[in-house]
Amino acid sequence: MSDQPELDGVRRAALIARIYNLRQPPTFLSGPISAVARHTTDNLRIILFSQLFDQDHNFTVNGRETDVGDQSKRGFSPAGHWDDVQRLLTYVYVQATKVAQEMNRVLMDIDVLLKAPKESFDWELTRDAERTYRGESPWLAGVQPTQNSSSGSPLSTVSFNARRKRRPYGHTYPTPPPLFPVAALGGTFDHLHAGHKILLSMGAWIAREKLIVGVTDDTLLKNKAYKEVLEPLAVRTARVRGFLELFKPGLYYDVVAISDVYGPTAWDPNVHALIVSKETLPGAASIHKHREEKGLPPLRTFVIDVISSSEASLDDRDAEALKNTKMSSTFIRQWIVHNRAQIDGKAS
């Protein structure tokens, strides 16, 4: 007899869990995420708590400073944990997205948020959820509905494992600063999906004051496949801003239309970091060359390689899961067009 809870389907659900260790994917959440995703049709919000998400302070466990690598003497470095956080986000998004696609819910909206336990829990994050779950147990049976309340955070302390030696990817400099005052990234952001959200989340993760997001103008998308279902610029811009304000309130988000690869990085001397995917590295090279020619300060480049087609940053099992989980706007537009055709065929 299965110990999994019987869940009725709902349109909107939230899953709250704590993360104890950034060094390994939270495999204990695979079951809860899959169960909740399977019984949610429209929107799933996964809220992860960890003391490591507190970007303002050093971390202590039982009165002693934790081991956070070379940064321990001067505080936690979000940029220094770039690899760990992008792997965490990717793992969680993959678990939810693959279930949504198995259920043919390609347009299901999935958000993964990172919160520090020092923050009083903002119940606005779950106010629209028809059902909220805790995912603190390693077993699926531990996923239980909870009542929303207006006081206190459900989470407290965490423990850390010693740092393992790992191959660096993304940044290549030895001691990155904790945060960059201004960071920039760009994309089409059509039908905002998990891959986009990982990119946006990581940009916000390393930015201290402002994140510049260039959204490709409609005029540059005329040759896109299935262009008839492309979202207009206003919709894409609004969805980008809405997600970022949900993920990291308090930053200034400069979400602007761009008609070339550069956007504000072509002239803004205050940009410090550039976030790109592996597929857009040639564009990053063009930006660096342009800024050098214009006498602008160089940018430190961070690469999101866990959402690329060749998943060197994931182990074999995760890489295969991500490969089969089609995080692309083209796939989504194709699904919309084919789905509409099937509906029209049945109606005629």
Least Cα distance to 66 among 203, 163, 180 occurs for 163
Q: Which residues lie closer than 8 Å to 189 by C-beta, 6 or more apart?
A: 196, 213, 215, 216, 236, 237, 239, 240
Containing H/E element for 243? helix 233-247
pTM for the whole structure: 0.81
pLDDT (tens digit per residue) in 1-51: 444 455 668 999 999 999 988 888 888 889 999 999 999 999 999 999 988
* Percentage of the chain exceeding pLDDT 90: 52
In this model, does residue 289 exceed pLDDT 70?
yes
Q: Is the pLDDT of residue 146 over 90?
A: no
Look at residue 199 and give its three-state secondary structure. helix
> With bands split at pLDDT 50, 70 and 90, how would you rate the model's confidence at 175?
low
| More reliable by pLDDT, 56 or 198 | 198
User: In a 3-state reduction of DSSP, which class is residue 343?
Assistant: helix
Who has greater pLDDT, 306 or 209? Answer: 209
Helix (H, G, I), strand (E, B) or coil at 66: coil
Q: Average the pLDDT over each of 53-67, 102-116, 236-250 and give the range with the smallest value.
A: 53-67
Q: What is the DSSP letter of 281?
A: H
Sheet holding 207-216, edge to edge: 252-258, 207-216, 180-187, 273-277, 300-304
Has residue 74 got a pLDDT over 50? no
If one compares 212 and 21, the residue with the highest pLDDT of the two is: 212
Q: Is residue 200 over pLDDT 60?
A: yes
Interval 178-193: pLDDT, tens: 789 999 999 999 999 9
Q: What is the DSSP string of 82-146?
A: HHHHHHHHHHHHHHHHHHHHHTT-TT-EEEEEEE-TTSPP-GGGGTT-SEEEE--SSSGGG-EEE
* Bigger pLDDT: 334 vs 176: 334
pLDDT mean over 155-176 = 34
Q: Which pLDDT score is estimated for 230?
A: 95
Q: Mind listing the pLDDT tens digit for each residue in 223-261?
A: 899 999 999 999 999 999 999 999 999 999 999 999 999
Q: Centre a 10 Å sphere on the Cβ of residue 264 and count the other Cβ atoms it contains.
A: 17
Q: What is the mean pLDDT of residues 267-285?
A: 93
Tell me what the pLDDT averaged over the chain comes to. Answer: 79
Count Cβ atoms within 10 A of the Cβ of residue 152 and give its class: 0-12 exposed, 13-18 middle, 19 or more buried.
Answer: exposed
Please, which residues have CB within 8 angstroms of residue 343's CB and are 6 or more apart in sequence? none
Q: Contact, 114 vs 50, CB < 8 A?
A: yes
Mention every residue, 6+ apart, whose C-beta is less than 8 A from residue 9: 39, 40, 41
d(CA 251, CA 335): 34
* 284 DSSP 8-state letter: H
More confident residue, 108 or 172: 108
Selected residue with higher pLDDT from 218 and 322: 218
Mean per-residue pLDDT, 108-134: 84
Task: Kindly compute the dihedral angle of the four CA atoms of residues 89, 176, 255, 270, in this order, to the nearest 10 degrees.
Answer: 180
Which pLDDT belongs to residue 6? 56
Residues forming a β-bridge with 45 = 14, 111
What confidence score (pLDDT) does residue 347 get?
61
Could you tell me the domains of the chain? 8-61+68-148+161-172 (no CATH), 179-348 (3.40.50.620)
Instruction: State the pLDDT at residue 176.
Output: 61
Q: Which of the two residues, 261 and 77, has the higher pLDDT score?
A: 261
CA dist 272 and 176 (Å) reads 12
Amino acid at 84: D
Measured distance CA(281)–CA(302) in Å, rounded: 10
